[in-house]
A and B are shown apart, each in its own frame.
Chain A
Amino acid sequence: ARSIATFNYASYHNLDEIYDFIDLLAAEKPELVSKIQIGESYEGRPIKVLKFSTGGTNRPAIWIDTGIHSREWVTQASGAYFAKKIIDSYGQDPSLTSILDNFDIFLEIVTNPDGFAFTHSKNRMWRKTRSKNSGSLCIGVDPNRNWDAGFGVAGSSGNPCSETYRGPYANSEPEVKAIVDFVKSHGNIKAFVSIHSYSQLLLYPFGYTSKKAADQAELDAVAKSAVEALASLHGTKYKYGSIITTIYQASGGTIDWTYEQGIKYSFTFELRDTGRYGFLLPASQIIPTAEETWLGLMVIMEHTRDHPY
């Protein structure tokens, strides 16, 4: 019988395999894990989120998502690794145990299911959602330009054929709207980490404006510690900073919106590599990438635990 113990974390998987994995996890560890559906994608696929909880009601929470850009396969693969790491560490690792004794963790592994399915079936290089754009032959919206934070200002495109097309209006994409509604209804999320690839960066708000985040000094210090922890395992070098100063102006981005919702600890990772394989990172690098990223995530989660607000 298939089990989370026999799931191959060192390989890429398609949507059905990852959704099976999510179901298995909830079935094998019901005391720690449950799965929730926060909505449906444009093409009607369920949007599944894993909830790791040791009790309580509406506890403060930490959100982690991977795969919002569907072709960034190492991120969804890392998400599966994180899920297993959380259940293996609870009760074993004192730090993770204390995090889970006080916080819930929400993990969305396939944040763009339509796009991800499309990378397996028709176009490995697909990045956006699969929504139809009226008046255009071009398909899809960049789900990391569709959030209501600086939506429509410079840093995204109004051209439906562009890879950074912002969409007809903020939250037009059901994949984005589902998270927006969840975050608003939960109301007690204290950290939000959205994981992309590639370039080896750890970024914090803002992307749509050069205005500094009110907590910029603290976010910078946390990012510094996180990239040091990440590098300690395999020596993988990361840069860190605000989105606009580290890469470019990007409007309508996820963590700009979450930060403006009051979620102070809002970060984006850009995982391996810096440009040997890019989005086609060999499967042999999944585990090294995921395990080093986990160390960076732990720094962010520990800081969140130790600095209630």
Chain B
Amino acid sequence: TETFVGHQVLRIFAADEFQVEQVKGLEDLEHLQLDFWREPIHPEASIDVRVPFHSLQAVKVFLESNSIRYGIMIEDVQSLVDEEKLSMSHNSR
């Protein structure tokens, strides 16, 4: 089973089309294993991306070094998945 310990979901705010394209470029780097929850489309729309723990540092350095603003939408994906599992098991009991 896939676990998501340390995975974070970042909310990225591209300031312009160029930054949107920069973020889009990350999508092609398959080794980062990024999972775009909301695709990079245009500057007005925020971009949500789940970043595995092993790629977090690289992605954050990339964003910061390109002055691309971002926030952390979900600190640890696994903790929400665990909460969900717990509530489902309570329900089935």
Contacts from A to B (Cβ < 8 Å): 8, 11-14, 17, 121-125, 161, 163-164, 198-199, 247-248, 275-280, 282-283
How many chain B residues touch A (CB < 8 A): the figure is: 28
* Cα(A282)–Cα(B82), bound, Å: 11
Tell whether, in the assembled complex, residue B87 and residue A11 are in contact, meaning their CB atoms are under 8 Å apart: yes
Q: Does B53 contact A (CB under 8 A)?
A: no
Residues of B contacting A17 in the complex (Cβ-Cβ under 8 angstroms): 92
A-B contact pairs, 10 of them (CB 8 A): A12-B84, A12-B88, A124-B81, A125-B50, A248-B41, A280-B84, A282-B83, A282-B84, A283-B87, A283-B88
Q: List the 8 closest pairs (A to B, CB-CB), nearest first.
A: A11-B91, A123-B2, A248-B41, A280-B80, A283-B87, A8-B91, A124-B81, A278-B37
Q: Does B23 contact A (CB under 8 A)?
A: no
Contacts from B to A (Cβ < 8 Å): 1-2, 4, 9, 11, 30, 35-39, 41-42, 45-46, 48, 50, 73-74, 77, 80-81, 83-84, 87-88, 91-92
Residues of B contacting A198 in the complex (Cβ-Cβ under 8 angstroms): 37
Tell whether, in the assembled complex, residue A122 and residue B1 are in contact, meaning their CB atoms are under 8 Å apart: yes
How many contacting A-B pairs (Cβ < 8 A)?
A: 63
* Cα(A247)–Cα(B92), bound, Å: 38
Q: B interface, by DSSP: helix, strand, loop or mixed?
A: mixed
A11-B91, A247-B45 given; A121·B39 CB < 8 A? no
Tell whether, in the assembled complex, residue B48 and residue A275 are in contact, meaning their CB atoms are under 8 Å apart: yes
* Cα(A17)–Cα(B92), bound, Å: 9
Q: How far is the CB of A127 from chain B (nearest CB, A)?
A: 9
Tell whether, in the assembled complex, residue B74 and residue A248 are in contact, meaning their CB atoms are under 8 Å apart: no
With both beta carbons as reference points, the residue of chain B lying nearest to A279 in the complex is identified as B37
* Cα(A203)–Cα(B27), bound, Å: 25
Tell whether, in the assembled complex, residue A13 and residue B2 are in contact, meaning their CB atoms are under 8 Å apart: no
State which of A12, A124, A282 has its C-beta within 8 Å of the C-beta of B4.
A124
Residues of A contacting B73 in the complex (Cβ-Cβ under 8 angstroms): 275-276, 278
Tell whether, in the assembled complex, residue A275 and residue B2 are in contact, meaning their CB atoms are under 8 Å apart: no
* Cα(A122)–Cα(B4), bound, Å: 11
State which of A164, A199, A283 has its C-beta within 8 Å of the C-beta of B84.
A283
Tell whether, in the assembled complex, residue B41 and residue A247 are in contact, meaning their CB atoms are under 8 Å apart: yes
With both beta carbons as reference points, the residue of chain B lying nearest to A247 in the complex is identified as B41
Q: How far is the CB of A116 from chain B (nearest CB, A)?
A: 14
A122-B2, A124-B2, A125-B35 given; A161·B87 CB < 8 A? no
